[in-house]
Amino acid sequence: MRQVSILHQSIGTDMIMIVNLILSKDSGGRKRSSFYYDLWNIKYLSKFKWDDLTEEIAYKSAIREQKPALELSAAKRERDFSLSKVDQSRALSAIEERMKKKQKVQEGSGMNSELPVTHKKEIRQFRQKKPVAVDSSHGKPRLSKDVLAGIFAGS
């Protein structure tokens, strides 16, 4: 990739004329060359800076390098979350199994005083915020029922 930087505006206008002359012309060379049938496709970019292009390329390459690491960390978080839920489920089922065993042992010995018969799943209650009442004074003005009745009664 080649770059030509123009320092003076007068040279910039000359460059525009050169670009218009070369545009869509054969690139030339020997007939055996692989570029013989290629055409020039040139565009003059005013206010273009080479640093802008290199910064954009560096930014895109940095994003491309970081993307797999972000996806990997997200997959690890999901895996850890699902494994913790599986462990929690196993622990709860083991607790229920022990409770059932204790109930059977107590029923066999005749003691039913301390443990409940069924173990229900705990339902948690969360405090809800109360909705904000809409003040009619801040809204758009409304017509009274008498005025509306007078308008629609006549029609």
Residue 5 — very low, low, confident or very high, per pLDDT cuts 50/70/90?
A: low
Does residue 34 sit within a domain?
Answer: yes
CA 85 to chain centre: 25
| Within-domain flag for 32 | yes
CA distances from 11 to 43, 95, 127 (A): 15, 85, 73
Domain assignment of residue 39, yes or no = yes
Within 8 A by CB and 6+ apart from 147, the residues are: none
Query: 123 vs 116, 120, 126, CA distance in Å?
Result: 17, 9, 10
| pLDDT reported for residue 2 | 46
The domain tally of the chain equals 1
3-state SS, residue 155:
coil
Task: Determine the pLDDT at residue 7.
Answer: 53
- 8 lies in which domain range? 1-48
Residue 78 lies in a domain: no
Q: What is the pLDDT of residues 72-114, one digit of tens each?
A: 999 999 999 999 999 999 999 999 999 999 989 888 887 655 5
Q: Do the Cβ atoms of 27 and 35 come closer than 8 Å?
A: yes
Per-residue pLDDT tens digits for 22-39: 777 777 777 778 777 777
Q: Is 43 domain-assigned?
A: yes
pTM summary value: 0.39
